[in-house]
Amino acid sequence: MTTPLQRRYVDQILVMLGKEPAKPRQAGEFTARAIKVHELKRMTNKADIEAAKEAHRANERNHKWRNRRWATLIFANLLFVVSFYFDIQILEGALTASRFVGFHLIDLNSALQVMLAHKHIITNLLIGTGTVLVLWILVGGRSFCSWICPYHLLAEWAENIHLWLVKKKLVTDTPIDRRLRTVFWIVFALLAIVTGYTVYESISPTGIISRALIYGGSALALLWVLALLVFEVFFVRRAWCRYACPIGLTYGVVGIVTPLRIKYTVEGCFHEGDCRKVCLVPHVLDTVIKGRAVDTEVPIGPDCTRCGLCVDTCPTGSLQFDVKGLAKLM
């Protein structure tokens, strides 16, 4: 017989694979603490809540975590460039495969693609992925997407343009079924097996941009990246990251048991929904919808990129970075 915690883990994994989050329906899914908080919220005067929301929204939002993330991402990618240009051998290679002061680092998804293409386990790749695997287990698999991936930063800027165009009613956002990302993951894996070639690596915007920054890139490859960004600006917000990129799914699986997560505390939440509007993967914040939190404190699922946008946006501090078993990060 499964426990509520086990069922929650299973459900979070299914949501990561594309299942739509379901509203808890059985009383047994909620803890007694959560039931009490939800009852108190229903008794609270709505006019008071709306007034409190407006007062908090009037305060200037900070961009603490966004700025830290952008600085980290830019620094990490520039370190590749500086190491190559000045031949200082600190961080050699590119994001797909590199060496940091002598330690080999290999992207988990790239290593998987290579082994599928060669149809056997390559010992050197396993050694190179070991350090990377431990790192992303500790800090959360999809942290790679928002804190390291150069395409993520470009897509984030493109998203801002898209949202401005939506506000001006010049374009509309057209969401796609999230299960498509799982389909793409399977398709790229099968292509590697059948062709003996890492097909995904040739079209991965992450790899293309990383190599272009360091060594220079082909015009055709960069044109492909530009086409993706244009598509996201005018048609589908964050299309590649949300619905296609197998790297995100691979690292999401790695981050299932990570101690570093974003934690939601229901008591102070006004349920204004601003956090879900800025989130790259808003389905992970389904629990912040009024009446859905199954406990007073709920860790956000493994598909969360730990970008910190929801933490910056939340007016009441109901969303915070947290290390399991330790005090929240400040």
Q: What is the DSSP letter of 286?
A: G
Count of domains for the chain? 1
Give alpha helix (H) positions in 119-178: 123-139, 143-147, 150-167
Distances (CA, A) of 278 to 152, 308, 310, 318: 14, 10, 7, 15
Per residue of the chain (330 residues), what is the pLDDT tens digit?
566 667 777 888 888 888 888 777 666 677 777 777 777 777 666 666 666 666 656 555 689 999 999 999 999 999 999 999 999 889 999 999 998 988 888 999 999 999 999 988 877 778 889 889 998 999 888 999 999 999 999 999 999 999 999 999 999 988 899 999 999 999 999 999 999 999 999 999 999 999 999 999 899 999 999 999 999 999 999 999 999 999 999 999 998 889 999 999 998 888 888 899 999 899 999 999 988 888 899 999 899 999 999 999 998 889 999 998 775 554
Domain membership of residue 229 as a residue range: 70-253
Domain contains 276: no
Domain contains 49: no
Domain contains 128: yes
Domain contains 24: no
Domain contains 202: yes
Domain contains 56: no
Distance (Å, whole) CA 79 – CA 57: 38
Domain contains 6: no
Sequence-distant (6+) residues with CB within 8 A of 272 are 53, 57, 315
Domain contains 81: yes
CB atoms within 10 A of CB 139: 17
